Amino acid sequence: MRIDKFLSDCKVATRREAEKAIRRGNVLLDGNIVRRADTPVDPACNTVTYCGETVEYRKYIYVLLNKPDGYVSATEDKNERTVLELLPEEVNKFGVFPCGRLDKNTQGLMLLTNDGDLAHRLLSPRRHVEKVYRFESARPLSAADIDRLTAGVDIGGYVTAPCTVTTDGGTAGVITLCEGKYHQVKLMLNAVDNRVLYLERVRFAFLTPDGLDVGAWRYLRKEEIEKLQEYKV
Ligand code: URA
């Protein structure tokens, strides 16, 4: 890859800024001043320095957010605060978007990335990535309600796929879905004449918000990204 593309992929500089920096002698490849914008770089073995700083090659980024109540899962919204407002410029400059949606008043784990292919694979209805939600219902679910929910209920012209539901015998429960229809958990509980009072996503695939305060975020670790990349449609 050309060194100007390397720098613009990493959002360190635009191609034009990279060219300027090269002309000024501010770009080094393995310690040597680069003279041409089309100088080839191998991110796996070369070290690139831009204005005195070493640049790690990174085109795609993957972030886990513990979404608080009150933020919409969108990249922009005229009236509401979006989840992107919880992330710093160093993340947002990569153009990340939420991989799947949580309602404004749903809390919990959200993956954000600029890797459209991966997001598409993880969200594909054929992929069946597990999503686990903790809920609080208005009334306890009966054994018959649980049987109906696990077998599949009509949520307005669509019958949900089999899933698992457990409760503490009272109003607290956990539901594991392999699909992600709009407002699915709320509509499922409505289908058994109940109502969701609180909803939190506690797992997406193998990822959990453990260790992340509500509103906090972190980069995915290399091994987590590799594991997600193994998901094929
Ligand atoms: N199901 C819902 O009803 N809401 C969410 O935010 C996620 C799943």
The CATH number of the domain holding residue 216 is 3.30.70.580
Return the best residue to mutate from 65, 66, 101, 195 for the ligand 1 pocket (most ligand atoms within 8 A of CB): 101
Residue 127: per-residue pLDDT: 81
- On whether both 49 and 145 belong to a single domain, the answer is no
pLDDT of residue 126: 81
Same domain, 155 and 102: no
Q: For the chain, how many structural domains are there in total?
A: 3
Answer whether 102 contacts ligand 1 (Cβ < 6 A): yes
Which residue in 10, 199, 205, 212 sits closest to 102, CA to CA?
199
Mark whether 74 and 114 lie in a shared domain: yes
For residue 120, CA distances in Å to 17, 76, 232 come to 32, 20, 10
| pLDDT tens digits for range 102-122 | 999 999 999 999 999 999 999
117 and 135 both lie in a single domain: no
Q: Does residue 168 have an active-site annotation?
A: no
Query: Could you tell me the distance, in angstroms and rounded to a whole number, from the CA of residue 103 to the centre of ligand 1?
Result: 6
pLDDT exceeds cutoff 80 at 233: no
Residues 138 and 193 in one domain: yes
- 134 and 193 in a common domain: yes
Residue 198 CA to ligand 1 centre (angstroms): 10
| 135 and 175 both lie in a single domain | yes
Q: Indicate whether 112 and 225 sit together in one domain.
A: yes
User: Quick check: CB of 199 below 6 Å from ligand 1?
Assistant: yes
pLDDT single digits (tens) 126-141: 888 999 999 999 999 9
- Does residue 227 share a domain with residue 115? yes
> By three-state DSSP, how is residue 85 classified?
helix
| Same domain as 227, residue 118 | yes
Full domain range(s) for residue 152: 130-204
User: Is 106 close to ligand 1, i.e. is its CB under 6 Å away?
Assistant: yes
Average pLDDT over residues 202-228: 96
| 60 contact partners, CB below 8 Å, separation of at least 6 | 94, 113, 114, 115, 118
Give the span between the Cα atoms of 137 and 147, in whole angstroms.
16
Looking at the structure, do residues 175 and 85 belong to the same domain, yes or no?
Answer: no
Would you say residue 232 has pLDDT above 80? no
For residue 124, the tally of other CB atoms under 10 A from its CB is 13
Instruction: Give the Cα separation of 176 and 166 in Å (integer).
Output: 9
The pTM assigned to this predicted structure is 0.89
pLDDT surpasses 70 at 152: yes
Please name every residue paired with 137 in a beta bridge, in sequence order, or none if there are none. Answer: 196
> So what's the pLDDT on residue 231?
84
Confidence label for 125 from pLDDT (cuts 50, 70 and 90): confident
